[in-house]
Structure 1
Amino acid sequence: PYEEFDHTIQMVRPAWATIREVRARRGDVARADAILAGNRKVTDRLRHLLDAMRPQGAVRIRKLEDGDDLDLNAAVMAAVDTRLRRQPDPRVMMRVLRKTRDTAVMVLLDLSESTNDTVAGGQTVLDLTRSATLLLSEA
């Protein structure tokens, strides 16, 4: 049990709410498509924000004996060592590793009675919550 703020009496009720994890029933596909079509810019912005969380680019691992590419700095140093009649470092290769990371998002929805309240535009808080969850999942 968790505490919950009761908006009717404007007090926190201790051990009042219970959280249950349940699978949602399949919704109306046409309604979902309409929400997505009307909010393309929001979905694109969310996608952009999520992509920004992923590391971009690559990491070079230098001074390898075996690799995919020539490490130019190490090769030049080996050539200098050879001209100076010193033993060159044989680690003149490098490998490029792409940085990748999966992003996982967990969503906790408030389904308390207060989500039935209407807001500007005539929608309920629950309707807006559903729409926001759909847009996030699409991104």
Structure 2
Amino acid sequence: MPYLQSIDVRYGEDPSSEPSAGIKTVDGSSADINAGFGGDFVWLIPTYGSAATAASSIRIIIQGDADSAYYDLAKGAGGDYRYLRLERDGGAKISEVKLLRRGDGVDFAAVQALGFQGVSGDINEGRGGDFLYLVWKY
């Protein structure tokens, strides 16, 4: 079984730039991280491989200062910088990842009811609009 190795951030100028291999949403809504906020179109592209170097969780980092070590998930939208970081803590390995976009926040029980065992923080925290999470299966 392949496991999540990395997530690349891809930018585009219009919806037709969406990569076919990008992370999809649970319900078929927009996979553009910046949907509703202006700025660049932003998509996430997963890479899968062996368990030896696989990710076990995904952390969202939101801060006021730019960090050149990461790609901004809110590029061109203004406000805080939003980054993702894969954690490799030796626990269970991520085998599938999707985006979950909702009008209201979700708790872990709601994520489990959708068949997922992990959830990131809200990518859109503090900027209004939809709640947006990465959810995953082990």
Give the number of the structure with larger relative contact order, counting CA–CA contacts within 8 Å between residues 6 or more apart.
2
Normalising TM by the smaller chain, what interval?
under 0.3
The two structures have a TM-score, normalised by structure 1, of: 0.22
TM-score (norm: length of structure 2): 0.22
Give the structure with the higher percent strand. Answer: 2
Whichever structure has more helix as a proportion of its residues is 1
